[in-house]
Amino acid sequence: MRTGAVNALYATGTFVVVLLAWQVIVSALHLAAYFIPTPLEILAALVSERVVYAANLLITLWSTLLAFVIATAIAVILGALVSEVLFLRRTVYPLLIALQSMPRIALAPVIIVWFGFGISSKVVLGAFTAFFPIFLNTVHGIATTDRDHLALMRTLRANRWQVFCKVKLPGALPFLLAGANIAIIFAILAVIVGEFLGANRGMGYLIVNESNQMDMAGVFASIFLLSAAGLCFHYGLGFLRRWLLFWAASSEPDADGS
């Protein structure tokens, strides 16, 4: 516990020092506001437009969350099916691998044309990019199920469903959650790109506005907000992982039997 607090202190301290240096250097060099804003200007921008920031951040976060949840659900189901059903492994799996190598962000304009300007195109884009890390990790996690666990279930003549629910899925959870960590970042990036290209709301749209208005303080403020959101997702997932994977410390006995 103490180390955690000490680490946090160091991190915050470094952050504060960087901000101070930034403020001093930019002010001293009299750099133009449109070139690089000072932290104070960024803060002022955040505060003065807080309603607009809050509204648009909420939209982006909501889109990201939806995309992530949908991607997770489809990825886990498809991952399970592909792992268990040989026919699907031979047909669907290679197809998905091929899709994965496609630059999905490049599809953004197409997705916007298909799904419109509203939140659905962003969610589709986000889900599409977030899907792959979770799917691949789920398949890998199921494939690397402990052989002994499977043997145990065989001695009990467990059927496929029992094996899947009691052994394969819980065993794959660490991999799945590792994939989720990556996936949520993908999701938020894809959502923002979607908002860049065709939206009327959201942080991406806000950044385009600010950029067109040469509002550098606004752009930086948006970027900071998004970084903060990313951090929150990261820590949130960390909590989820620790809560779900409470058992994931080594369960093997030591060599001396202790």
Partner 1 sequence: MSAAAQRLSGNPGHAAAVRILELRTVRKTYRTLRRDNIVALSPTSLAFEAGEFVSIVGPSGCGKTTLLNITSGLLRPSAGAILFRGSTVDGPTPEISMVFQRPVLLPWRKVIDNVLLPVEVLGLRPAQSFRERAAELLAMLGLTGFAETYPRELSGGMQQRVAIARALIYDSSVLLMDEPFASLDAMTREELNLELLRIWEVTGRTIVFVTHNIPEAVLLSDRVVVMTPRPGKVSAVIPVPLPRPRSLSLLGDPAFGCIVSEVRELLRVRSEVVARAGEA
Partner 2 sequence: MRQENLPVASHPWSRRRALKAAGLAGAAAFAPAALSAPAIAQSRRKVTLVYGVQTIDSPADDFFAAIPLGLGLYAEEGLDVRIETVAGAGAAVNLLVSGQAQFATHGTAGLLDGVDKGAPIQGFTCEIPGFIESIAVLADGPIKTFDDLKGKTIGVSANAGAPVYMVKAVMRERGWNPDADASLLAVGTGLPALDALRRNRVQAIVEWDTIYGLFEFYGAKFRFLRPPPIPTLGFAHTTNATIALIAKDPQMVVGLARAIAKAIVYMAAAPPDELTNLHYKMFPASRPAGLSEGQIYRLDALRLHARTAFMGLNARVFERTVKIGDVSDGKILAFRDLLYTGGEIHHSFPADRYFTRQFLAPSNDFDIPALITKAKALRV
Tokens standing for 52? Answer: 């607009």
**Which of the listed partners (partner 2, partner 1, none) does 166 bind, with a CB threshold of 5 to 8 Å by partner kind?**
partner 1
> Which parts of 64-123 interact with partner 2 (CB under 8 A)?
109, 113, 116-117
Which of 1, 35, 252, 254 binds partner 2 (CB under 8 A)? It is 35
**What are the C-alpha distances in Å from 161 to residues 164, 168, 170?**
5, 10, 13
Specify whether the CB–CB gap between 123 and 69 falls below 8 A.
no
Q: Which does 248 bind (CB under 5 to 8 A by kind): partner 1, partner 2, none?
A: partner 1
| 148 touching partner 1, by CB under 8 A | yes
Count of Cβ atoms closer than 10 Å to residue 221 Cβ: 26
Do 173 and 244 contact (CB within 8 A), yes or no? yes
Least distance (Å) from partner 1 to the CB of residue 71?
Answer: 24
Of the chain, the end-to-end C-alpha distance in Å amounts to 26
Q: Does residue 89 bind partner 1 (CB under 8 A)?
A: no
Sign of CA dihedral 152, 154, 160, 161: negative
Q: Does 216 bind partner 2 (CB under 8 A)?
A: yes
Residue 52 is a binding residue for partner 2 (CB under 8 A): yes
Q: Which stretch binds partner 2 (CB under 8 A): 40-48, 65-73, 128-136, 149-157?
A: 40-48
Residues in Cβ contact with 205 at an 8 Å cutoff, skipping those fewer than 6 apart: 56, 195, 196, 199
Residues 6-25 touching partner 2, rule: CB under 8 A, are none
- Where does this chain touch partner 1 (CB under 8 A) — which range of 112-120, 135-143, 214-222, 240-248? 240-248
User: Beta-carbon neighbour count of residue 54 at 10 Å?
Assistant: 11
From candidates 67, 177, 217, 225, binder to partner 2 by CB under 8 A:
217
What is the C-alpha separation between 214 and 98, in angstroms, rounded? 40
Residue 157 found at the interface with partner 1 (CB under 8 A): yes
Tokens 């976060």, located at residue: 61
Residue placing its CB nearer to partner 2 in the complex, 179 or 194:
194
Q: List contacts with partner 1 (CB under 8 A).
A: 146, 148-149, 151-158, 162, 166-167, 170, 173, 246-258
